């Protein structure tokens, strides 16, 4: 894989009333392409990045190859993303709100 290999950004955040973390992965398109509930940040990283459990989802988004960058536990999933991907996510959310 080269420097132009698409990057999938995976992270986790607290949500809801339980102590569990929600892991999500954003594809280069700006869509969430995978998710998982985990009991800790370490398990979330394993579940989303190293276990291979989400590889099929990542292959569907990036059939010619991909790499995953783990962003860790964050307070605001969108703000944790690189600016160019934030713009795509925000545009998708605005389009959804128009319906």
Task: Tell me the pTM.
Answer: 0.91
Residue 95 CA to residue 63 CA, distance in Å, equals 26
Confidence of residue 97 (pLDDT cuts 50, 70, 90): confident
Half-sphere exposure of 1 (CA within 13 A, CB side): 12
**Which residues, 6 or more positions from 16, have their beta carbon under 8 angstroms from its beta carbon?**
22
Residue 44 CA to residue 39 CA, distance in Å, equals 7
What's residue 71's pLDDT? Answer: 98
Query: What pLDDT, in 10s, does the model give residues 59-90?
Result: 999 999 999 999 999 999 999 999 999 999 99
What's residue 1's pLDDT? Answer: 53
Query: What pLDDT, in 10s, does the model give residues 21-64?
Result: 999 999 999 999 999 999 999 999 999 999 999 999 999 999 99
What's residue 55's pLDDT? Answer: 97
pLDDT at 2 > cutoff 80? no
List the domain boundaries for the chain: 7-97
């Amino acid at each position: 894989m080269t420097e132009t290999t698409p990057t999938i950004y995976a992270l986790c955040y607290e949500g809801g009333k339980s102590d569990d973390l929600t892991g999500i992965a954003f594809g280069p398109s700006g869509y969430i392409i995978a998710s998982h509930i985990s009991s800790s940040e370490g398990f979330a990283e394993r579940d989303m990045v190293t276990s291979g459990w989400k590889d099929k989802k990542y292959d569907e988004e990036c059939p010619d190859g991909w790499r995953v960058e783990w962003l860790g536990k964050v307070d605001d999933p969108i703000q944790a993303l690189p600016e160019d991907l934030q713009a795509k996510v925000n545009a998708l959310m605005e389009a959804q709100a128009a319906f």
